[in-house]
Amino acid sequence: MFYRVPSAELSGRGPRLQTIALVILLLAAPLPRARAQEGQPGAFERDLDAAAPVELRVKNRTGRVSVLAEEDSKQVSIRAWSASGLAVTERDVRVTSASGAIEINVEREGAAPRPADGRKVTQSAAQVERERIDLTVHVPARSRVWVETEAGAVDVVGNVAEAEAKTDTGTIRADVPLDALRYSFRWTLSRPRLFSEVELPKVKEKRGGVFEIAGRFPEEKEGKKGKKKKGEPEASEEPDETTADESAAAETQPTPEPSKAEPKGKEEAKKEEERRREEAKKKEEALKKAREEKAKAAKTEAAKALKDTQVKLSLETARGVLLFGVKDESRVPSDLRERTLTEAARAIIRSGDTELIDAIRKVAPRLVGEYAQTLGDRRGGPTLGARTSSPFDVRTAAGASLARVQARVTDRTGRAVTGLTAKDFTVTEGGVERPVREVTPTTAPFNLVLLLDVSGSLEERIDFIRKAALAFLSTAGPQDRIAIVSFRDDVQLVSEFTNDRGVLTERIKDIQAGGATSLYDALGYSLVSVLKPLRGERTGVVVLSDGDDNRSFLSFPVIVDAIYETGAIIYPLYVPSGLIPSSSAPAASATLDPTRTRFLELTSRAEEEGARLAEVSGGKYYPITRLEQLQRAYDDVAAQLRTAYTITYETDPASRPDTRVRVKVSREGADVRLSPAVAVSAAAAAPAQ
């Protein structure tokens, strides 16, 4: 979510206008979820006239606070409600207003008193929900805002002149213009955890264990003439208007004609020279005065413009995470603590996949930069994860005017559709229908990555994991090649692709468990490292995990994008961890701090995410609770990978490589996914009639 300055304010400000979302959180809540609760029965509502910007002070003991500064607004609108459905009255929301200053104190009438010495009291979840009151305040643009809360999310959005927010364990989210921003972020009881779209200054450790990041946008840099903002031209880059005025004035002065009179005496010549010098001095002083007045006027105008756009932002939290410039909170990884780069992260950086690298850089910008420098210039051709090639380039040449594609056809349940012939397929290339010459069922050997979760969350079931992996070896055919990757807080390449079952068996027996779970990083590593040499071949990834990622540099949406664009087929086989039953996990949007809840209640996401991975890749999701279910899933995966069709059709030799090829099949509810066709031997099945 970004604050946007209206187009009327953009004139004269050029491309330097930027906006950015600043979030400090123990884990944050998107504003739309907070606003969705407005208008429910029993809510408190009040509107106050405000012809000019106001000073707003809010203190909310238990609940969320959202402040929105709106352009052209002429009033302050206050809305407060209870997530539990209890009525909220003016005795719970006390509003005072005087001379453009508005103060709002929110505390449930009859709430348990706090100790006078400031000691923190732990409340039960039921007590928190009874006392919780969420608040949204709309104010005019350029207002000054102060917000304080003990817990719950805080949102400050819009063109404010100043915003200060302070929480104990809650979220602070600020979305303000970047034109002239001074900011200070402080963590008083923990080290900063950062996720930034742009590079931030170095964290400074203050006395008493306080950490701070402070700076301004646009950033200042040292030049020959002192500090200047980045992006501003040097003095020599702009024309000197006063010099031009002087030149023009000089050009308009009449050139004195040579005197035709007799030479004057020495005394008269001296007086004439002094007179001319005096006139020149007066002109110079007049020009100097004009320059000074012009500079003063420009300085006054600049100061006025700066005052109209400058934003001062001061955010403080006891323990939290800073998200800087975040568009989508779901793209924030669950672990933002300081740590070294893992082998999975280093492999992704070596791959050159810009999207995945950028995602890691936002978590550890300094470490990514340092490691990238050690690699030198690694430019090369596209890789499976590089996203530089066209996603539509799925054709394989089959002659002067023929091309082949490989098609996987599945029904609504994700199972492969068999028994199709040429008459069932329609091929279009660049929007033009092409004659289908041949359709051949393809049952060539496949390449599969067996991705095994051996993190601490599954340590007590490591024997189950080993047995499951060995069971898959017996399911795969003798020509099928298998690679094994295990992962916990980092990845380990247990075995590269091989069809030597003896080697694979011995490697599986040596797998050990323990540590956190970096599922998304392991998937990224498999895409850009293990599968990279196999572009165009029949490949798949079987993931045996509980689905509970808690350590990856990558987030789930980032890895979904990578899977979708690289065309890898994912088969998630998820064994529920049992740590947090999905049925008992609260809805994130209903909690006091939604993003914090989203990260804490990991297992509640596993099933949804597993199904999503299968959907975007063309695979299938298998929830596993018993060993016999696992074997059936393996049998099904092997059948799915082996069931495909090689389609040969007439092509236009002059068509571009990125010309889009579409294949439709005459089966209701069928889904078709294309990939480059592998070679078809002469002994393949006869062409379908």
More confident residue, 564 or 226: 564
Question: Pairing mode, if any, of strands 134-140 and 75-81?
Answer: antiparallel
- What pLDDT was estimated at residue 511? 87
CA distance 116 to 119: 8
Instruction: Confirm if 518 and 552 have CB atoms less than 8 A apart.
Output: yes
Instruction: Confirm if 174 and 315 have CB atoms less than 8 A apart.
Output: yes
3-state secondary structure of 166: strand
CA distance 406 to 394: 8
Query: Which of 201-210, 298-307, 476-485, 514-523 has the lowest average pLDDT?
Result: 298-307
Judge whether residue 339 has pLDDT over 80: yes
- What pLDDT was estimated at residue 436? 94
3-state secondary structure of 674: strand
Judge whether residue 236 has pLDDT over 70: no
Judge whether residue 114 has pLDDT over 60: yes
Q: What is the pLDDT of residues 419-447, one digit of tens each?
A: 899 999 999 998 899 999 999 887 767 88
Banded model confidence at residue 118, pLDDT cuts 50, 70, 90: low
**Half-sphere exposure of residue 433, counting CA atoms within 13 Å on the CB side?**
5
Residues in CB range of 494: below 8 A, 6 or more apart:
452, 484, 485, 486, 507, 508, 510, 511
Judge whether residue 590 has pLDDT over 50: yes
Question: Pairing mode, if any, of strands 44-49 and 75-81?
Answer: antiparallel
Most confident residue range from 159-168, 377-386, 649-658, 678-687 = 159-168
- What pLDDT was estimated at residue 363? 87
More confident residue, 392 or 155: 155
- What pLDDT was estimated at residue 165? 92
More confident residue, 305 or 1: 305
Q: In three state form, how does the secondary structure of 143-154 look?
A: CEEEEEECCCCE
Give the distance, in angstroms, between the CA of residue 246 and the centroid of all CA atoms in the same chain.
54
Instruction: Confirm if 407 and 676 have CB atoms less than 8 A apart.
Output: no
Percent of the chain with pLDDT over 90: 32
Tokens for 654? 């002059």
Tokens for 9? 């304010």
* Residue of 556, 676, 669, 538 lying closest to 616 (CA atoms): 556
Judge whether residue 125 has pLDDT over 80: no
More confident residue, 266 or 680: 266
Q: What is the pLDDT of residues 447-459, one digit of tens each?
A: 899 999 998 765 5
Most confident residue range from 125-129, 444-448, 541-545, 578-582 = 541-545
Query: Hey, how many other C-beta atoms are within 10 angstroms of the C-beta on 246?
Result: 16
Judge whether residue 329 has pLDDT over 50: yes
**407 - beta bridge partners?**
645, 674
- What pLDDT was estimated at residue 556? 93
Q: What is the pLDDT of residues 631-670, one digit of tens each?
A: 889 888 888 887 888 899 999 888 877 788 999 999 888 8
Q: For the residues 384-412, what does the mean pLDDT come to?
A: 71
Query: Which of 64-68, 79-83, 148-152, 485-489 has the lowest average pLDDT?
Result: 148-152
How much is the mean pLDDT over the chain?
Answer: 78
* Residue of 534, 454, 536 lying closest to 490 (CA atoms): 454
Q: For the residues 517-541, what does the mean pLDDT come to?
A: 86
Tokens for 581? 């039953």
More confident residue, 198 or 601: 198
Tokens for 563? 């899977």
More confident residue, 491 or 297: 491
- What pLDDT was estimated at residue 539? 79
End-to-end CA distance of the chain: 55
> What would you measure as the largest C-alpha separation in the chain, in angstroms?
126
More confident residue, 4 or 588: 588
CA distance 150 to 128: 11
- What pLDDT was estimated at residue 320? 72
Tokens for 419? 């028994």
User: How many helices (DSSP H) and strands (DSSP E) are in the chain?
Assistant: 14, 34
Q: For the residues 476-493, what does the mean pLDDT come to?
A: 91
- Check residue 316 and report its DSSP letter: E
Q: Which residue has the tokens 């490591």?
A: 462
Query: Hey, how many other C-beta atoms are within 10 angstroms of the C-beta on 146?
Result: 18
Query: Hey, how many other C-beta atoms are within 10 angstroms of the C-beta on 373?
Result: 8
- What pLDDT was estimated at residue 271? 83
* Residue of 598, 617, 489 lying closest to 541 (CA atoms): 617
Banded model confidence at residue 316, pLDDT cuts 50, 70, 90: very high
Q: Exposure of 499 by Cβ count < 10 A (0-12 exposed, 13-18 middle, 19+ buried)?
A: middle
Tokens for 126? 């039921």
What's at 491, amino acid-wise?
V
Query: Which of 23-37, 296-310, 556-570 has the lowest average pLDDT?
Result: 23-37
- What pLDDT was estimated at residue 435? 94
- What pLDDT was estimated at residue 676? 66
CA distance 419 to 310: 68
Tokens for 194? 């950062």
- What pLDDT was estimated at residue 213? 92
Q: For the residues 366-382, what does the mean pLDDT come to?
A: 74
Banded model confidence at residue 91, pLDDT cuts 50, 70, 90: very high
More confident residue, 431 or 578: 431
- What pLDDT was estimated at residue 382? 39
Judge whether residue 412 has pLDDT over 60: yes
Judge whether residue 582 has pLDDT over 90: no
Q: Strand (E) positions, 398-515?
A: 402-410, 425-429, 432-434, 436-442, 447-453, 481-487, 491-498
Judge whether residue 30 has pLDDT over 80: no
The DSSP-derived string for 617-671 is HT---EE--SHHHHHHHHHHHHHHHH-EEEEEEE--TTS-TT--EEEEESSTT-E
**544 - beta bridge partners?**
452, 573
Q: For the residues 299-313, what does the mean pLDDT come to?
A: 78
